[in-house]
Amino acid sequence: MHDFRQVDVFSAEPLRGNPVAVVHAADDLTEEQMRAFARWTNLSETTFLLAPTTAEADYRLRIFTPGGELPFAGHPTLGSAHAWLEAGGQAQHAERVVQECGAGLVTIRRGERLAFAAPPLLRSGPADAETVRAIARALRIQPSEVVAAQWVDNGPGWVAARLRDADAVLALDPDYVAMADLDLGVVGLYPPGGEVAIEVRGFAPELAVPEDPVTGSLNAGVAQWLIGSGVLPPSYVAAQGTALGRAGRVHVDQVGDTTWVGGDTSTTISGTLRLR
């Protein structure tokens, strides 16, 4: 038996964020058991807390979608850190937790809310014209409606498209078949002075996640792109999940060379998992 928590991430309102299933002390589980349980939960991500393999880390994490394993993902990182701390995990440093995962070591800052340090991009730079046409087909829009498109891949493979504004993002009716193997993020700005700066949507049908409610890894890549290009200020709040009836809020702060991506976390389900 294993302790189990389901944590809502990126919302201060109950049941309005993105849930992640977290299995504690999972070192005895096989990879096939992990994959099977992730398929069974049918959440965008399910994670397994393991003993670290390096002295620098507080714990190791494996992250699975219903369709496969990810080297890194944002909302599972925050939700798993929340679950680990709530279960009595003792970090080596009072101000931070260090997670080991497929993408390496990820630092999670403790404070008013948990925030992870955005990992380096594995692929960046503008998307070429062919990719922009593929994005437009997947979103059922014209290529001319894509203001800009950029690779923001920090593990899951994200390419992001900026549209005219937040309303254009919310109006999308994507074609998931045409999307094929694109892991696609879409962003649009709100008018200045509001609660949130941008609306974000994230689509990953190849990972069996047609639309993800709130996506930390995508928001991390978008922040590095749009802060770096001067479109967004160093600190802002992003909305995601609106189209799905959620109220995701992603808090972004760039401090020096580090982009911190944070959000509220709360345990909604706790219990015991039996796989044998």
Q: Is the pLDDT of residue 266 over 80?
A: yes
Nearest-CA neighbor of 15 among 7, 5, 3, 23?
7
Q: Is the pLDDT of residue 276 over 80?
A: no
Residue 207 pLDDT: 85
Q: What is the mean pLDDT of residues 31-55?
A: 97
Residues 237 and 210 placed together within one structural domain of the fold: yes
| Mean per-residue pLDDT over the chain, rounded | 96
CATH number at residue 100: 3.10.310.10
Q: What is the mean pLDDT of residues 224-249?
A: 97
Residues 111 and 144 placed together within one structural domain of the fold: no
Residues 168 and 198 placed together within one structural domain of the fold: yes
Residues 81 and 157 placed together within one structural domain of the fold: no
Domain that holds residue 143: 123-249
Residue 239 pLDDT: 98
Confidence of residue 218 (pLDDT cuts 50, 70, 90): very high
Residue of 31, 45, 56, 100 marked active site: 45
Query: How many domains in the chain?
Result: 2
Query: In the chain, how long is the greatest CA-to-CA distance?
Result: 54
10-14, 105-109, 232-236: least confidently modelled range: 10-14
The answer for residues whose C-beta is within 8 angstroms of residue 107's C-beta and 6 or more apart is 96, 97, 98, 99, 116, 117
The answer for residues whose C-beta is within 8 angstroms of residue 245's C-beta and 6 or more apart is none
Residues 111 and 130 placed together within one structural domain of the fold: no
Confidence of residue 184 (pLDDT cuts 50, 70, 90): very high
Residues 266 and 226 placed together within one structural domain of the fold: no
Confidence of residue 108 (pLDDT cuts 50, 70, 90): very high
Put simply, whether the predicted model's pTM sits higher than 0.85 gets the answer yes
Asked if the structure places residue 257 within a domain, the reply is no
Q: What is the mean pLDDT of residues 256-272?
A: 97
Three-class DSSP category at 268: strand
Asked if the structure places residue 193 within a domain, the reply is yes
Residue 45 annotated as catalytic: yes
Q: Is the pLDDT of residue 206 over 90?
A: no
Tokens of 106: 């990820």
Asked if the structure places residue 150 within a domain, the reply is yes
Q: Is the pLDDT of residue 47 over 90?
A: yes
Asked if the structure places residue 254 within a domain, the reply is no
Asked if the structure places residue 25 within a domain, the reply is yes
pLDDT tens-digit map of 20-40:
999 999 999 999 999 999 999
Asked if the structure places residue 256 within a domain, the reply is no
Residues 171 and 79 placed together within one structural domain of the fold: no
Residues 103 and 21 placed together within one structural domain of the fold: yes
